[in-house]
Amino acid sequence: MPLVRISLMKTSAERARQVADAVHEAMVDTIGIPAEDRFQIVSMHEPHELIYDATFYGIERSDGFIAVQITLAAGRSTEVKTNLYRRMTELLKARLQVRPEDVFVSLVGVAPDDFSLGNGRAQFAEALPPHLQALQKSS
């Protein structure tokens, strides 16, 4: 049920899909979501539409900059989040030659009942799936 927004410079539809595939695989590998739990919005931008600081925090970014914002159920540990960031950059570098310096990730943690999966219901308020039950036990 995470909602993923990926923003990158204009590229081919195939490359954009490969970026999305790598981001999703990293999430499955590290944060415990089911493989079929995939909701992504990919936005491609002209250079003037994607604004970022090329050197903030001593990191040298290029025009290959990719911003990934993931809204997900809160409660994952710093270790799990760090594993997600690492795995995402590993996959993007290995498959698409994306520089790790160009991968910016922002996680937005929300309560499970902040999601409606459809039908006008708050499904996770009614019953948490197993991967979210584990988060409730650890907090």
CA atoms within 13 A on the CB side of 35: 2
Q: What is the pTM assigned to this prediction?
A: 0.92
pLDDT digits (tens, 9 = 90+) for 107-116: 999 988 888 8
pLDDT of residue 123: 86
Who has greater pLDDT, 117 or 30? 30
| Domains (range + CATH), the chain | 3-138 (3.30.429.10)
Q: Tell me which residues are annotated as active site.
A: 2
Average pLDDT (75-104) is: 97
The closest alpha carbon to 6, from 134, 104, 111, 98, belongs to: 104
The closest alpha carbon to 123, from 132, 134, 112, 110, belongs to: 112
* Residue-averaged pLDDT of the chain: 94
Average pLDDT (123-138) is: 78
131 and 33 in contact (C-beta within 8 Å)? yes
| 3-class secondary structure, 117 | coil
pLDDT digits (tens, 9 = 90+) for 8-40: 999 999 999 999 999 999 999 999 999 999 999
Pairing of strands 66-73, 3-9: antiparallel
Pairing of strands 40-45, 66-73: unpaired
- On the question of pLDDT at 137 being above 80, the answer is no
Average pLDDT (97-102) is: 98
